[in-house]
Amino acid sequence: MKFNEHIAVATNKVLLVPYDARHVPRYHEWMEDATIREATASERLALDEEYANQVEWREAADKLTFILCEPLTPASGGGGGVGGDGDGDAVVAGEADEPRRMVGDVNMFLTPWEGDGDDEGLDGSGSGKAHCCMAEIDIMIADPRHRGKGLGRAAVAALLSFFCRNREGVLAEYGGADGYTSNTGSGKSTLVVKDLVAKISAGNTGSIALFKSLGFEQRGGVNYFGEIQMVLEGVGEERDEAPWVAVVKDAGYKELRYDRSRLREE
């Protein structure tokens, strides 16, 4: 997705940066681990295939993805960090997200909604399912040193906040790819997110607990693939009573410019 191409998200727990070609070698190292591939239902790819995959994810309007890094410090290339002042605040690419600071990734995938019902689109067109979509979220903490420290919980909460604050732009890019734009000429998305889900292996008790702590609830039983669905109600709303909102408030939240100007040509 292009929407977040120049945006980093910083809290005092984690840093999220757009997935660039520069991140691919470290990401490829992670995916050479068979345990990680199994946990993420991923195929083993050659390095050149991983580079091609990164390009495809950047271009695809249905994939909102961030690399998860250690939080900013004054020395890690974060212009002011969380709570810094001024529009010039930026995350310095290649410093704040150098390979040794990379922890994992967090993603949101948008797909057509396949539920029942006869809901209207945002434009009142009454066109039902054509104006509804589903958002699936996943999180990977690839570096074992950083597991069990609450980074996954912080990253998911930060991504949810990013989506809520930028919902119109994210859905406009996704919907625009399939022609789901307003017939009023405003260019706004007519899409409604009906479900936000996480599909988790039934045996992954840690991940299930993570999503439960953020307000997700299980829907249905174990499917054919051995997964359960955890669903978050009130998609797109930062309601004070929502557990994930409290996580963001505790950790702070700031969107910063992702500054690539100091990078050598990739």
Strand order of the β-sheet with 217-219 is: 90-92, 254-259, 7-10, 15-18, 63-69, 102-112, 132-141, 192-201, 227-232, 217-219
Cα 79 to Cα 87: distance, rounded to the nearest angstrom: 10
Half-sphere exposure of 5 (CA within 13 A, CB side): 12
Smallest Cα–Cα separation from 216: which of 156, 142, 149, 168?
Answer: 156
Smallest Cα–Cα separation from 78: which of 260, 248, 256?
Answer: 256
Going from the first residue of the chain to its last (266 residues), give the mean pLDDT of each consecutive group of 10, the final group possibly shorter. 96 96 96 90 93 96 96 67 51 93 96 66 44 91 89 95 92 73 49 89 90 94 91 73 88 93 71
Question: What is the pLDDT, as a whole number, of residue 263?
Answer: 83
Q: Which residues pair with 230 in a beta bridge?
A: 198, 218
Please state the domain extents for the chain: 7-259
Whole-prediction pTM value? 0.86
- Alpha helices for the chain (secondary structure H): 24-31, 34-39, 47-59, 151-165, 167-177, 205-213, 243-251
Contact 134, 191 (CB under 8 A): no
Smallest Cα–Cα separation from 79: which of 251, 255, 256?
Answer: 256
State the CB neighbour count (10 A cutoff) for residue 88.
11
Residues in CB range of 41: below 8 A, 6 or more apart:
none
Amino acid type, 227: E
State the CB neighbour count (10 A cutoff) for residue 209.
10
Smallest Cα–Cα separation from 156: which of 135, 138, 179, 134?
Answer: 138
Report the CATH fold assignment for 7-259: Aminopeptidase (3.40.630)
Q: Name the E strands within the chain.
A: 7-10, 15-18, 63-69, 90-92, 102-112, 132-141, 192-201, 217-219, 227-232, 254-259
Q: Is 173 helix (H, G, I), strand (E, B) or coil?
A: helix
Pull the structure tokens for residue 214.
Answer: 């953020």
Question: What is the pLDDT, as a whole number, of residue 77?
Answer: 55
